[in-house]
């Protein structure tokens, strides 16, 4: 007789990913510098030539969707950072900062994601 | 005051001069809307690189104040059963059974598999799944409800035979639940030690009381709302195969014979839906064959997905045409909609002298912007074609992307596009309320890919001014308005036909024109559309493909409902979802879906180039290639100084990018094709298309792989036919830059001017003595 199985099992892969991501974050925390942030500010769309920024961008782009952000176009033409909406729920504005154009807003999201990253406890 | 918002759609996307068009509007917060017919000139409100948004108001008797109202949409798939003599109004003993494959058993809401149940009054009987994911049968007498519930939860994506027998004399009720998974038919295999079976017996306090007006439904139950009236709720998610109902008790042994693959006993049988019957080589309709004594007419609502693998699928056959009896699964989704079914708000007549082109009824309430402004788009076609140029409106692709919400749902989008999305109020509104259905880039709530899309619903991204949120630029229809604006700017007399026109009429729809020009991303193509364009070119027509990643997916329009397009995504290709094994064939025509490339018709065979990469966040110019100086084709670049073409554009400042196509002799590019120009050196966000990859290895990205480039090509065909392809989505959006006088515009004008002339093409005089080969 086997034990009854949970019809809604927890995905064991989550723990494996967290192990991988924490290793990545430990590396990224060491390479985030004012120069790297400036490299992104100068060209959020551009080819990222430096390896540290490239690796950081890969990590940030591949975050789970509930850790991502969006830019919301406001009626006054400015852009604000919000959470990604969930089905049946509107997006949540993360702060009241107005960004004048998409590039500035994308850099704002970049800074916010770095802040999130630095706040993670990775040993 | 309620928030003011307005949405609408038409009964057709293509309408001829002099024809009538029905318009359907749903409005909150206002009883009237200001309506104005507008010709859509340019759709991109980018004023830094282009002309900005341009519309032209057209005088029309329908302009003015329209009475509008709140209209409701029935979401979800279910089967209606016509039972005028009420054979299924069983007031006493009954049994029911069905094979099921639930996709969201623990949905947190009740799901009805089958029954005759009134949710408002709690009357009737039904077999279903309770909010916690357990099989349940219940009866109601209008005052109370009695339930019997399985002891074992249903496991998602596993086939079961479930059933119930209710003895009205003793009020004894017996629930039957047995797993029927085999090595192929379910998500998990036979080694997972779940306990699937449950057999429960109890005695109810009372029997059902049936109202006369309640319908028997499969996959839903009657509900009622004070404003809305009757509708269907308690919708089921998952597959159902061969349900039945009997007016007598079925024993455990008799249910076991059904589980073994036999039909339910004929004695007492009231209805048996042979869900695998009626299939043909040309597809499956929406009627489900009921083979019981009364042959009850049964029909799917909102396109339940047919031809899906059934409970007895054993993996040998991969198509419903080969072994229909193994493909009896009908898949139901509570959030599917292919027709909002609203009352007509207004019927307008298209003036017989209205110039062909893209139009909309602009509707405004209250502030008249954001969600208080709607553009109900349609295309006017010449009643009798007189133009030599025709814009082929890629409506199949508009449908495919209609109401896509990738920015909100798809984790993959930010890695693909390289940037966070830029979202707008209208997207937020429709995503929050989810009334208007999904795109073929979405998954249903239960995780299945969406394979049908329809224009009989508001499509928020088929509007002017709409910017694609995950790319930050116009996409599909509003991007195509950059091509039509260029046509308008150049003063060409141009007719407009849509993909659905072409699918219906075939080659005859193209015959009147010397030159046919496509949109920026005509990705979805039916076989009839492809045949017509191939024959058009071979018979002397000139085709201009101004896009990228075109002629990619095999699709079909539903022969019973022209507004609905079907696609199945599978095997390879840059795709938002993957159809399950055995479910790769289009139910509307019986042919395999997926990529045309995988059916022997790579895009290269018709347009010389085919999908190679996508990267979205940056664009580059083209650079002239040696072929462009060949005197058979040098006329194409006449008047263009230097080697760069398209160093301008509304999509990231260049004509080459977003999604790009490549010349490839191995995939059928005609061997005499000339490469006029090519891009290359794209960023590493441009990655190789998956269908190119046999073995994956590092470096399949823009700055490292020579194959990742847009090729602009030209080739000649029989009878002075020819094809010009830009190989890039961004090409069309480069046309309005620099006041429509950039290099992209000059080059395309050379091509169109040549293609419109009767007789031989420029450069033709050199082909004999120099040959066409390099």
C-alpha B623/C-alpha A99 separation (Å) is 36
B411 with A64: Cβ contact below 8 A: yes
User: How many other C-beta atoms can be found within 10 angstroms of the C-beta atom of residue B289?
Assistant: 16
Residue of chain B whose Cα is closest to the Cα of A8: B155
C-beta atoms of A45 and B194 within 8 A: no
Tell me the three-class secondary structure of B736-771, residue by residue.
CHHHHCCHHHHHHHHHHHHHHCCCCCCCHHHHHHHC
Cα–Cα distance list, B714 to B219, B608, B609, B639 (Å)? 53, 8, 10, 18
Enumerate the residues of chain B whose CB falls inside 8 A of the CB of residue A69: 420
Q: Do A71 and B423 touch (CB under 8 A)?
A: yes
Write out the two tokens for B267.
């004695």
* Residue B391 C-alpha, separation from nearest chain A C-alpha, in angstroms: 32
DSSP B598: G
Could you tell me which residues are beta bridge partners of residue B716? B722
Tell me: the pLDDT tens digits for B95-140? 999 999 999 999 999 999 999 999 999 999 999 999 999 999 999 9
Cβ distance of A46 and B194 shorter than 8 Å: no
What residues in B contact A86, CB-CB < 8 Å? 408
Q: What is the mean pLDDT of residues B334-353?
A: 98
Is the CB of A73 less than 8 angstroms away from the CB of B424? yes
Q: Mean pLDDT lowest for which of A5-9, A39-43, B41-45, B315-319?
A: A5-9
Give the best residue of B133, B410, B412, B420 to mutate against chain A (max A CB count within 10 A): B420
pLDDT digit string, tens, across residues B196-228: 999 999 999 999 999 999 999 999 999 999 999
Q: Is the pLDDT of residue B338 over 50?
A: yes
Contact residues, chain B, for A54 at CB < 8 Å: 684
Query: What pLDDT score does B429 carry?
Result: 85
Is the backbone of residue B258 left (phi > 0), alpha (psi -120 to 50) or beta? alpha
- Candidates B420, B425, B469; nearest CB to A68: B420
Rounded to 5°, angle at Cα B706 from B704 and B712? 135
Query: How far away is chain B from the Cα of A74, in angstroms, using its nearest Cα?
Result: 8
Percent of chain B, pLDDT > 70? 99
Contacts 24+ apart (CB under 8 A), A118-121: A118/A29, A118/A32, A120/A22, A120/A25
Q: Which of B319-328, B465-474, B488-497 has the lowest mean pLDDT?
A: B465-474
Spell out which residues of chain B touch residue A5, defining contact as CB-CB under 8 Å.
Answer: 192-195
In whole angstroms, how far apart are CA A83 and each of A92, A95, B444, B752? Answer: 5, 10, 22, 46
For residue B570, pLDDT beyond 70 = yes
Mutation target to probe the B interface, by most B beta carbons within 10 A, among A65, A81, A113 is: A65
The number of angstroms, rounded, from the C-alpha of B571 to the middle of its chain's C-alpha atoms is 18
**pLDDT band, residue A46 (cuts 50/70/90):** low
Contact B14, B501 (CB under 8 A): yes
Identify which of B133, B370, B411 has the shortest CB distance to residue A65. B411
B627 phi/psi in degrees, rounded to 5 = -55, -30
Q: Does residue A48 fall inside a structural domain?
A: yes
Q: Is residue B772 predicted with pLDDT exceeding 80?
A: no
From chain A, the residues in CB contact with B617 under 8 A are 45
Opening angle at CA B339, ends B337 and B343, nearest 5: 135
Provide the 8-state DSSP code for B1. -
CA B582 to chain centre: 20
Give φ, ψ of B31 to 5 degrees.
Answer: -95, -10
- Token pair 């699964």 is at which residue? B329
For the stretch B512-567, pLDDT in tens is 999 999 999 999 999 999 999 999 999 999 999 999 999 999 999 999 999 999 99
pLDDT at A2: 55
- What domain count does chain A have? 1
What's residue B771's pLDDT?
Answer: 53
Alpha-carbon torsion (B125, B126, B127, B128), positive or negative = negative
Task: Collapse the DSSP code of A66 into the 3-class scheme (helix H, G, I; strand E, B; otherwise coil) and give the result.
Answer: helix
For residue B133, the chain A residues in CB contact (below 8 A) are: 7-8
Q: With an 8 Å Cβ cutoff, is A117 touching chain B?
A: no
Q: What is the pLDDT of residue A48?
A: 65
pLDDT for B15 beyond 80: yes
**Contact of B166 with B152, CB cutoff 8 Å:** no
Q: Is position A3 within any domain? A: no
Measured between CA atoms, how close is A123 to chain B, in angstroms?
A: 27
Report which of B711, B406, B720, B739 is spatially closest to residue B574, judged by C-alpha positions. Answer: B406
DSSP class of B77:
-
Neighbours of B81 (CB within 10 A): 23
Spatial distance between the Cα atoms of B364 and B36, rounded to a whole number of angstroms: 9
Confidence of residue A82 (pLDDT cuts 50, 70, 90): very high
Q: Which residues of A touch B425 (CB under 8 A)?
A: 73, 75
Whether residue B769 is predicted with pLDDT greater than 70 in this model: the reply is: no
Q: Which residues are CB-contacts of B627 (< 8 A; sequence separation ≥ 6)?
A: B633, B674, B675, B676, B774
B434 touching chain A per CB within 8 A: yes
CATH number corresponding to B381-554+572-577+591-763: 3.40.50
What secondary structure letter does DSSP report for B348? Answer: E
Kindly determine whether residue B419 and residue A44, on different chains, have CB atoms separated by under 8 Å: yes
User: What is the rounded (10 degree) CA torsion for B255, B261, B267, B270?
Assistant: 90
Of B153, B420, B434, the CB nearest to A87: B434
Q: Are strands B644-645 and B711-716 parallel, antiparallel or unpaired?
A: unpaired
Strand partners for B688: B613
Per DSSP (E only), the strands in A69-119 are 69-73, 79-83
Establish if A28 belongs to a structural domain: yes
- Please answer whether residues B553 and B524 qualify as being in contact, where contact means their C-beta atoms are separated by less than 8 angstroms: yes
Please, what is the average pLDDT of chain B? Answer: 96
Q: Which residue, chain included where needed, has tokens 């004999």?
A: B768
Query: How many Cα atoms are found within 13 Å in the side-chain-facing hemisphere of B499?
Result: 28
Decide if A121 touches B, using CB distance below 8 A: no
Residue spans per domain, chain B: 5-70+343-378, 78-332, 381-554+572-577+591-763
A11 touches chain B (CB under 8 A): no
**Cβ-defined contact of A4 to B154 (cutoff 8 Å):** no
Mean pLDDT score, B270-288: 97
Nearest C-alpha neighbor of B308 from the set B525, B688, B630, B568: B568
Residue, of B734 and A121, whose pLDDT is higher: B734
Which of A9-18, B42-51, B593-602 is modeled with the greatest confidence? B593-602
3 state DSSP class of B103: coil
Length of chain B: 774
Higher pLDDT, A2 or B255: B255
- Indicate the range of B84-93, B94-103, B252-261, B408-417 predicted with least confidence: B408-417
> Residue A122: what pLDDT?
84
Which of the pair, B414 or B767, is modelled with greater confidence?
B414
Reference B479, options B369, B677, B616; nearest CA is B616
Give which of A21, A46, A61, A76 to mutate to test B binding, by max B Cβ within 10 Å.
A61
Q: How far is CA B326 from CA B219, B294, B316, in A?
A: 21, 25, 10
Centre a 10 Å sphere on the Cβ of residue B490 and count the other Cβ atoms it contains: 16
What SS3 class is residue B139?
A: strand
Tell me which DSSP letter residue B398 carries.
Answer: H
Contact: B683, A88; criterion CB under 8 Å: no
Q: What is the helix, strand, coil percentage profile of chain B, to 5?
A: 15, 35, 50
Any CB–CB contact under 8 A between B193 and chain A?
yes
> For the domain with range B5-70+343-378, which CATH number is right: 3.30.70, 2.60.40, 3.30.750, 2.40.40?
2.60.40
Q: What is the mean pLDDT of chain A?
A: 90
Contacts of A106 in chain B (CB under 8 A): 419-420
Q: What is the pLDDT of residue B259?
A: 98
How far is the CA of A112 from the CAs of A81, A90, A94, B87, B578, in angstroms? 9, 20, 10, 64, 34
Q: Is residue A6 part of a domain?
A: no
Query: Is A109 an interface residue toward B (CB < 8 Å)?
Result: yes
Q: Report whether B140 contacts B117 (CB < 8 A).
A: yes
A82 CB neighbours in chain B (<8 A) are 423
Beta strands in B309-369 (DSSP E): 329-332, 346-349, 357-364
Closest CA to B13 of B23, B25, B27: B23
Range of the domain at A104: 14-118
Contact predicate B372/B278, CB 8 Å: no
pLDDT at B719 over 90: yes
Instruction: Please report which residue ranges of B70-204 form alpha helices under DSSP H.
Output: none
B78-332 belongs to which CATH class?
Answer: mainly beta
**Confidence band (pLDDT; 50, 70, 90) for A1?**
very low
Segment B663-692 mean pLDDT:
96
* pLDDT reported for residue A44: 85
- CA B277, B280, B284, B287 dihedral sign is negative
Residue position matching structure tokens 């060409």: B492
| Chain A: closest CA distance from residue B461 (Å) | 16
């Amino acid at each position: 007789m086997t034990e009854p199985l949970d019809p809604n099992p927890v995905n064991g892969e989550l723990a494996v990913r967290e192990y991988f991501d924490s290793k990545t974050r430990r590396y990224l925390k060491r390479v985030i510098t004012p120069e790297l942030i400036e490299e992104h500010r100068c060209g959020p769309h551009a080819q990222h030539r430096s390896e540290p920024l490239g690796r950081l961008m890969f990590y940030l782009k591949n975050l789970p969707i509930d850790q991502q952000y969006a830019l919301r176009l406001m009626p006054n033409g400015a852009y604000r950072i919000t959470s990604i909406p969930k089905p049946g729920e509107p997006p949540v504005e993360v702060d009241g900062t107005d960004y004048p154009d998409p590039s500035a807003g994308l850099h704002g999201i970049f800074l916010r994601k770095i802040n999130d990253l630095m706040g993670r406890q990775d040993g | 005051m309620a928030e003011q918002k307005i949405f609408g759609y038409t009964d057709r996307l293509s309408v001829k001069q002099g024809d009538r068009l029905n318009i359907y509007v749903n409005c909150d917060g206002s009883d009237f809307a200001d309506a104005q017919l507008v010709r859509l000139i340019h759709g991109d409100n980018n004023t830094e690189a282009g002309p900005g948004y341009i519309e032209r108001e057209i005088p029309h008797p329908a302009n003015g104040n329209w009475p509008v109202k709140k209209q409701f949409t029935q979401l979800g798939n279910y089967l209606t059963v016509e039972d005028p003599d009420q054979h299924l109004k069983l007031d006493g003993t009954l049994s029911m059974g069905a094979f099921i494959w639930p996709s969201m058993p623990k949905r947190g809401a009740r799901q009805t598999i089958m029954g005759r149940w009134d949710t408002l009054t709690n009357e009737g009987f039904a077999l279903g799944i309770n909010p916690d994911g357990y099989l349940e049968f219940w009866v109601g007498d209008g005052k109370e409800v009695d339930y019997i519930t399985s002891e074992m939860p249903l496991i998602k994506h596993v086939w079961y035979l479930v059933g119930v027998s209710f003895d009205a004399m003793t009020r004894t009720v017996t629930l039957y639940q047995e797993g029927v998974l085999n090595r192929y038919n379910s998500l998990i295999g036979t080694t997972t030690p779940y306990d699937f079976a449950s057999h429960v017996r109890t005695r109810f306090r009372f029997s059902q009381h049936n109202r006369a007006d309640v319908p028997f439904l499969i996959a839903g139950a009657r509900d009622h709302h004070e404003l809305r009236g009757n509708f269907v709720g308690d919708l089921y998610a998952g597959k159902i195969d061969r349900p039945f109902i009997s007016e007598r008790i079925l024993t455990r042994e008799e249910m076991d014979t059904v589980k073994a693959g036999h039909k339910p006993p004929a004695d007492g049988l009231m209805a048996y839906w042979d869900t695998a019957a009626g299939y043909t080589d040309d597809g499956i309709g929406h009627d489900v064959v009921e083979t019981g004594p009364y042959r009850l007419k049964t029909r799917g609502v909102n396109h339940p997905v047919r031809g899906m693998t059934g409970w007895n699928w054993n993996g040998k056959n991969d198509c419903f045409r080969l072994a229909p009896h193994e493909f009896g699964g009908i898949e139901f989704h509570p959030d599917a909609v292919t027709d909002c079914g609203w009352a007509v708000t207004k019927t307008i007549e298209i003036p017989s002298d209205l110039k062909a082109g893209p139009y909309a009824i602009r509707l405004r309430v209250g502030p008249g912007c954001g969600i208080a402004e709607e553009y109900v788009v349609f295309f006017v076609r010449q009643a009798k074609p007189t133009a030599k140029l025709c814009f082929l409106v890629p409506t199949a692709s508009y449908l495919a992307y209609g109401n896509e919400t990738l920015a909100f749902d798809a984790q993959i989008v930010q890695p693909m596009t390289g940037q966070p999305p830029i979202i707008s109020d209208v997207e937020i509104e429709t995503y929050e309320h989810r009334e208007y259905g999904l795109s073929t880039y979405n998954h249903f709530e239960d995780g299945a890919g969406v394979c049908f899309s329809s224009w009989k619903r508001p499509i928020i991204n088929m509007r002017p001014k709409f910017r694609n949120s995950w790319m930050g630029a116009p996409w599909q229809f509003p991007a195509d308005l950059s091509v039509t604006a260029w046509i308008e700017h150049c003063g060409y007399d141009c007719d407009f036909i849509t993909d659905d026109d072409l699918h219906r009429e075939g080659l005859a729809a193209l015959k009147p024109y010397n030159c046919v020009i496509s949109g920026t991303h005509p990705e979805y193509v039916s076989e009839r559309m492809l045949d017509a364009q191939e024959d058009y070119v071979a018979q002397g027509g000139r085709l201009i493909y101004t896009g990228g990643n075109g002629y990619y997916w095999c699709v079909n329009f539903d022969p019973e409902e022209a507004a609905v397009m079907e696609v199945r995504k599978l095997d390879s290709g840059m795709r938002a979802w993957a159809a399950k094994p055995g479910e790769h064939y289009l139910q509307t025509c019986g042919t395999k879906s997926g990529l045309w490339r995988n059916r022997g018709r790579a895009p290269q065979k018709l347009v010389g180039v085919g999908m190679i990469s996508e990267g979205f966040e940056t664009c580059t110019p083209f650079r002239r290639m040696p072929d462009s100086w060949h005197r058979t084709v040098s006329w194409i670049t006449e008047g263009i100084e230097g080697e760069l073409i398209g160093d301008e554009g509304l999509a990231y400042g260049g004509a080459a990018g977003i999604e790009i196509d490549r010349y490839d002799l191995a995939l059928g590019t005609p061997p005499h094709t000339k490469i006029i120009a090519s891009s290359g050196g794209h960023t590493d966000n441009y990655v190789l298309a998956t269908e190119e990859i046999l073995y994956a290895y590092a470096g399949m990205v823009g700055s490292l792989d020579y194959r990742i480039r847009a090729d602009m090509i030209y080739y000649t065909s029989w009878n002075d036919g020819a094809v010009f392809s830009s190989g890039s989505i961004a090409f069309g959006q480069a046309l309005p830059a620099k006041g429509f006088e950039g290099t992209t515009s000059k080059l395309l004008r050379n091509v169109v001017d040549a293609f419109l002339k009767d007789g031989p093409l420029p450069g033709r005089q050199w082909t004999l003595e120099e040959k066409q080969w390099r």
